[in-house]
Amino acid sequence: MAEKAQRSFLKRAAAASVAGGVALSLAPVSGAVAQSGGKDTLIVGTSGLSNIPHLNPLDSGWLLQGEINNLMYTPMIRWSQEDFSPAPGIAQEWESSEDGLTWTYRLNPDATWSDGEPITAEDAKFTYDLLRENPVLNSRHGDLVNNFTDVRAEDDHTLVIEIDEPSAMMNHLKGVSIMIMPEHVWGELDDPATYAGDPDQPTSGPFRLNEYREGERITLTANEDYWEGPVDYDEFVLQDYQTPEAMVQALQAGEVDLVGGLNPQQYEALESREGITTSTGPGRRMQSLTFNAGARTQGGEEFGDGHPALTDPAVRRAIAHAVDKERIVEVATGGFALPGVSYVPPIFGDLSWEPTGDDLIAADVEAGNRLLDEAGYDERDSAGLRVDPESGRPLEFRLFYHSDRPSYAIIQDFLVDWVAELDIRLDAIAMDTTPLNEEQEAGNFDIAFGTWNAGPEPSETLAYHTCARLPEDAEPTDLTFAFYCNEEYDALFEQQTAETDLDTRAGLLRDMQQLLYQDAPAIVLYYENQLEAYNSERWSGFETQPAAEGMIREQQGAFGYRSATPADGSGGEAAGSGSDSGSALPWVIGGVVLVAVAGGGFALMQRRKTADDRE
């Protein structure tokens, strides 16, 4: 490891530890917090509520919107707590015809809205028809519903959907990404796309909305008659904080009961705090470096100002050889992460591909230098930098990183020194997140840091590397990660969308990941652990997803929140916290997945930011 990078890290880590230590030492764990009416209230500390424009459950693009949706609504089909496989929700069971074009869903006859009305197949038909017909809602969910040719309620508890092309999405209906709405209420709305969230509207989940203070807090009231069984407390509050440090102090002061998204220093400091329990498990959030593999339109028109040498997989692969991912995990995350490989994290089992033997791009600068020499980058300029034989330009690349992420500042120090051993210069440039994303979407970058939360369908993420994601016009786009286009990769993508056998499809998905790894349009650095802590003097019972060594927050459901119990029956003494996210997680079912649908619905849907979008 380069000494300069090591010294830089030690300096930053020392500063962070001192700051974190002061914050932690000043905030003792307090006793009971003021309650309203003696209610059991679970308060979750979070940040980012100011980004939430509304609480429309059918037009949710932010992680926090998904958390609230999971508490207020039950999906037709869940992602299971055990392993993210499809599991019953409102639909008890489902089956397809032999040709995979007709799907029948049988709804739970005990399912009711919070106002006592039954949840029926007509409600489901109304919702799916709405997603097909409303332009705004269709832009979010067209990847599923634009494949529907007919939706009908055969009786109160039987829904039949006919589709144009076989699709594995029918085996999960996008899980928690789509919630069924009550026709007897939503049918009266002038424009459901403008619904922003009204208190006490009928819901199908364990809570209903009580108060929404934009940018401040969201308060939910427990549904005592929830058809799957009520929770053991009265209220849930999602409370916004400006910084993670403020959330940690609030936890110790007894103002919240659970926080997530901790950094390693905060997590380790809280481990020794009496009355606070820490929790960690493998996560689905990945950190990566993305290359500009050649910004261009589908017709081949080039745009942006990316360095032409980065269109060559040999250059990208050589840089990958210079990156010591294990060292990054050790230093930048304190060991609370796994070295990265591809866009399907190992938390999803057989769907994730792992390199072996000659496939492995090991941290080996000598191998990187040999690769560059063999590819024709063997000439140097007067500064000792390799020269691109095609353009005559030295291999000097801009490295954009987010100025508000200390871990990126640490990592870029390492990268600059490591890549210099290839006789390549990286010019690290700190940028705010919004302008960084704008420059990347316009193709005005060479290499950029990024983070991504994997979705419930692997193809929803892997689609970002297909040729179809290149823009039609030379304009900015967030439909692609790297402007990558490979016909072999596209062929595999199309194969897996038409494959009905689970094992065969999983193999095709692994083949796609292997090809991405070898072509290296991006380098996945690591998969973050979820670092959480809660007040165990006042709350217990938080269950995780996956059930074994999983996470409380950022779940594919409300398992963590539904299982929370006031400790010792203390009731109103709990201020409370717990967080369950509605983001998506990759799992493959035994059908095919349709991603490119008629009328370009999927591309239009992805134009809008999703709950699992890059940051």
pLDDT one-digit tens code per residue, 448-505:
999 888 877 788 789 899 998 999 999 999 889 999 999 999 999 888 877 767 788 8
Helix (H) or strand (E) holding 441: helix 433-441
pLDDT above 90 for 225 = yes
Strand 447-453 versus strand 396-402 pairing type: parallel
Q: How confident is the model at residue 549 (pLDDT cuts 50, 70, 90)?
A: confident
Distance of CA 478 to CAs 77, 128, 142, 285, 295, Å? 29, 26, 17, 18, 12
- How far is Cα 603 from Cα 139, in angstroms, rounded to an integer? 8
User: Other CB atoms closer than 10 Å to residue 9's CB: what's the count?
Assistant: 18
Residue in the block written with tokens 């197949």: 121
Helices and strands per DSSP (H, E), number in the chain: 17, 19
pLDDT above 80 for 160 = yes
- How far is Cα 412 from Cα 106, in angstroms, rounded to an integer? 53
User: Out of 3.10.105.10, 3.10.129.10, 3.40.50.300, 3.40.718.10, which CATH number does the structure's domain 283-529 have?
Assistant: 3.10.105.10
Q: What is the predicted pLDDT for the residue at 607?
A: 30
First-to-last alpha carbon distance for the chain, in angstroms, is 28
Q: What is the predicted pLDDT for the residue at 202?
A: 96
pLDDT one-digit tens code per residue, 415-430:
999 999 999 999 999 9
Nearest alpha-carbon partner for 517 in 359, 348, 347, 318: 359
pLDDT above 80 for 220 = yes
What's the average model confidence in pLDDT over 525-543? 95
Q: How confident is the model at residue 598 (pLDDT cuts 50, 70, 90)?
A: very low
Indicate if the alpha-carbon torsion angle 544, 548, 554, 555 is positive or negative: negative
Backbone angles phi, psi at 40, to 5 degrees: -85, 115
Domain residue extents for the chain: 41-257+538-566, 283-529
- How far is Cα 168 from Cα 14, in angstroms, rounded to an integer? 50
pLDDT above 60 for 216 = yes
Residue-averaged pLDDT of the chain: 86
| Domain 41-257+538-566, CATH class in plain words | alpha beta
What's the average model confidence in pLDDT over 507-532? 96
Cβ atoms of 605 and 457 closer than 8 Å: no
What's the average model confidence in pLDDT over 275-282? 93
Q: What is the predicted pLDDT for the residue at 72?
A: 96
* Residues facing 397 on adjacent strands: 426
What's the average model confidence in pLDDT over 526-555? 92
- How far is Cα 575 from Cα 39, in angstroms, rounded to an integer? 9
Q: How confident is the model at residue 65 (pLDDT cuts 50, 70, 90)?
A: confident
pLDDT above 50 for 600 = no
Distance of CA 510 to CAs 125, 496, 503, Å? 35, 10, 11
Nearest alpha-carbon partner for 397 in 469, 342, 318: 318
More confident residue, 549 or 501: 549
Residue in the block written with tokens 């809570």: 207
Taking the CA atoms of residue 153, residue 154, residue 155 and residue 158 in that order, the dihedral angle to the nearest 10 degrees is: -70
- How far is Cα 552 from Cα 532, in angstroms, rounded to an integer? 8
pLDDT one-digit tens code per residue, 328-343:
999 999 999 999 999 8
